[in-house]
Amino acid sequence: MNKNTKKLLAIVFMAIFIVSTVSAAFLGGGKVATPSNQNTGITLTGTPADNYPDNKRTTFCETGPAQSSKYITEYKIPTSCTQPLAIIADPAGNVWFTESNTGNLGKFDPSSKTFQEFTNEQWQKGEKSMMWGLGTAQDENIWFTDSQHSLIWKFNPTDKSYTRFVFPKSNGTDGSFPQMLYIDGKNAYVNDFTGKKIGTFTTDHIGPDLGVTNISSPGNYNFTSTMTTDPGGNVWYTVWKYQQGGNLVKYDPKTGNSTQYTLPQEIQAPNGIAIDSIGKLWIMDTASSIFFDFDPNSNQFTKHLTSPPPISSYGNASGLIKTPISRPYWNHFDDKGRLWFNEQVANSLGVYDSSTQSLVEYLVPSKNPNWSDCGTLQDCGVAQVLDFTVDHNKVWFAEWVENNIGVLDSSIALPIEVNASDTSITIQRGQNVTVSFNINPQEQLTSPVSIITSNTAGAQNISVIPQDALVTVDKSKTVKVTILADNFASAGTYQLLLGVRYHDITVSKYITVTLE
């Protein structure tokens, strides 16, 4: 695959999965104090910002200093415009991240709150690459992917050296696109996003090449997404065409056989996949606000959804966005069994607790308006949180267009507690049911809360009408919510989400709704 083709592919990839529904990307208006070169529009700063013209620097580099909230603290990376992407925490608690605009690895010490950036002498000046995958091996070496150059890199933290390996293309393809990287013991797995395979190698391999073994993706699908393994050693991943369906794949390395399960029609871009303690697979759909679990015992998919994005994330200055979506991307389980995921265009991190049927969503403080329909709106936009990692109570994430890493402390108490009077209800077509929604303040609230609703049945099947859209909560309060079933509603079992949004946090509960 030649360089021009790779760049075109990267642009297409970004257009589908990174740019918001209405985006002002590539229209940034950064200013630099020193005179510009009139021929190129680039003011040389001696930093990675020189990879972008002046008028794009606020779009891709940053719009301001690091921000903080009650739950989230951000840290500005010392080097300008590194575009941090993949992020992990090592066993010692250090936080590592890829710098997609420099080719370097960065390291943050949470104890001293200091950064180290390790220069990759093999990186060509002016190059950039989406470096999605990052992992720590048992020998403490750090591995990461380089999609632009079809490479896998190994970094030795002891001698600070980088070693690069070619990620081989599949037969009959023009090249490879190594994306995510998952390490299980000594085995490393890399999905070839457009090369229709999973590549696997051992992290203790010695030699000039990786010794990659290919797991070919079945079917005629354009994309192969990230992977996970179950306790039996099976590899699970998805294959799909954008907005045209796909399959969940289970590969047994002992036999070389694959089993495929047809994904629900609603899934348009299945990216993240994770497995819980009882063997269910959880799949995130980046083209919507939904995620699914799959039970291998019953072969059944169950649909879940996030809350609607806050208007501060998408803006809608033009009025063109009729149905904003959150775009859940990657997912990880914490040591309490809760499912974490990043909501890319809602500028949020969400955590779903299946034991309590609850969802908490935390808004990221920094916002870049060039990636949303912000117009003249203030405090609007997204920081492009494209990856995160969970380390006990701490959730670390990277802000690709704000040059920050951030940490969310999930041990901090929430300001509100919510409960519904019913965990499940049954409605006949053409009828309605009223449920009580209890809001309990856990601190003194300084402003009214917003009642948030969403459901997997869709507006054509049910309508959800809260008694009040805004509620002042100075003590425990009950809000009535009416659920109306359409006369021609489709029978089935759905989820209704009832939530409360207070400043930068949304707390919700799920109710199972059966339409008969």
For 456-487, what is each residue's pLDDT tens digit?
Answer: 999 899 999 999 999 999 999 999 999 999 99
235-240 and 246-252: which strand pairing? antiparallel
**Tens of pLDDT, residues 11-21:** 334 444 433 33
Return the SS3 of 311.
helix
Quick one: average pLDDT of 410-438? Answer: 96
The answer to whether the CB of 417 falls within 8 A of the CB of 440 is yes
Q: How far is CA 34 from CA 40, 44, 81, in A?
A: 14, 9, 17
CA 225 to chain centre: 13
What is the pLDDT at residue 4?
46
Work out the percent of the chain whose per-residue pLDDT is above 70: 92
What is the C-alpha to C-alpha distance for residues 189 and 212, in angstroms, rounded to an integer? Answer: 9
What is the C-alpha to C-alpha distance for residues 84 and 385, in angstroms, rounded to an integer? Answer: 9
Does position 365 have pLDDT exceeding 60, yes or no?
yes
pLDDT class of 40 with cuts at 50, 70, 90: low
What is the pLDDT at residue 171?
72
Work out the percent of the chain whose per-residue pLDDT is above 90: 88
The answer to whether the CB of 134 falls within 8 A of the CB of 96 is yes
The single-letter DSSP state of residue 177 is -
**Mean pLDDT, the chain, whole residue set:** 92
Q: pTM of the predicted model, to two decimals?
A: 0.93
Query: Higher-confidence residue: 10 or 150?
Result: 150
The answer to whether the CB of 321 falls within 8 A of the CB of 21 is yes
- The partner residues of 251 in beta bridges, in order of sequence, read 235, 258
Which H or E element spans position 8?
helix 3-17
Does position 29 have pLDDT exceeding 70, yes or no?
no
Does position 296 have pLDDT exceeding 90, yes or no?
yes
Does position 25 have pLDDT exceeding 60, yes or no?
no
Helices (H), 18-100: 57-60
What is the C-alpha to C-alpha distance for residues 403 and 507, in angstroms, rounded to an integer? Answer: 28
Beta strand segments in 77-120, E: 84-89, 95-99, 104-109, 114-118
Domain 416-515 annotated CATH 3.40.50.170: no
pLDDT class of 170 with cuts at 50, 70, 90: confident
Which H or E element spans position 14?
helix 3-17
What is the pLDDT at residue 243?
83
Does position 27 have pLDDT exceeding 80, yes or no?
no
Does position 161 have pLDDT exceeding 90, yes or no?
yes
